[in-house]
Amino acid sequence: MLAPFKVGAPDRRRVPEPRTPSGGPALPLVPGRATQFVSRTPPVLPTRTTCLSLLSLVVPEELQQPTTRLHVRFYVSEGGAELFRDELNDLGLEARAAIVAAIKRRSRFEHFAREDEHVRGRVRAIRTTYDGAEYRALYALVGTHDEVLLGLHAVNKKSQKLPKRAIGRAEQRLADWQRRGEELRSAGAPKALSAKTDILQVRKGGS
């Protein structure tokens, strides 16, 4: 049986709480005007561009990570021998593919922290593990703005420490590369050893 309705009695039925279009509760913006609301929902996070802009305000420019990838070159002797490429081929097809993949990650700044290590001077190493074996691709950053990753020497690391002979060979090749570059620039060919094309693709079949 329905309860009798008294004329003039206030309607105490619960009025649904106003909601914003996103589904969150809202507060009246102006008292007595329930048609305008302020959302209680958390603000929308800034876009990726905004985040990068904010990052540039708090991180010094010299410490910010470059946005472009490094050019990759393999050491070639003065006589035209592609020594670094030949060393990669001698390591075997699977190991060579793993090292090349690590070099690509390093050139795109997508490498893992453990994959890159300082060796000595300007020589660094890309660490690769495949099938229980350790490999090192010794390289150096060259160019006017260190924009070129120059592969110097690839070795199968069989001992706990990197052999000094391998480090010395990489340093000799780096010095040779820089010497020839200076000679060519002095002769009026400043871009003769630049990295305008990416030669990271290793020849198939070890050729």
SS3 call for 9: coil
Closest alpha carbon to 138 in 159, 114, 116, 160: 116
What is the model's pLDDT at position 159?
Answer: 87
CATH number of 71-188: 3.30.2310.20
pTM: 0.61
What is the model's pLDDT at position 133?
Answer: 92
What is the model's pLDDT at position 202?
Answer: 43
SS3 call for 162: coil
What is the model's pLDDT at position 206?
Answer: 44
Low-confidence ranges of the chain (pLDDT < 70): 1-67, 189-207
Q: Where are the beta strands (DSSP E) in the chain?
A: 26-30, 33-39, 71-74, 116-120, 123-130, 133-142, 148-157
What is the model's pLDDT at position 142?
Answer: 94
Q: Helices 93-107 and 83-90: crossing angle, nearest 10°? A: 130
Residues 86-94: contacts with CB under 8 Å, at least 24 apart: 87/153, 87/154, 87/155, 88/137, 88/154, 88/202, 89/202, 89/203, 89/206, 91/135, 91/154, 91/156, 93/206, 94/130, 94/131
Structural domain spans, the chain: 71-188
What is the model's pLDDT at position 9?
Answer: 55
What is the model's pLDDT at position 184?
Answer: 85
| CA 55 – CA 173 distance, rounded (Å) | 39
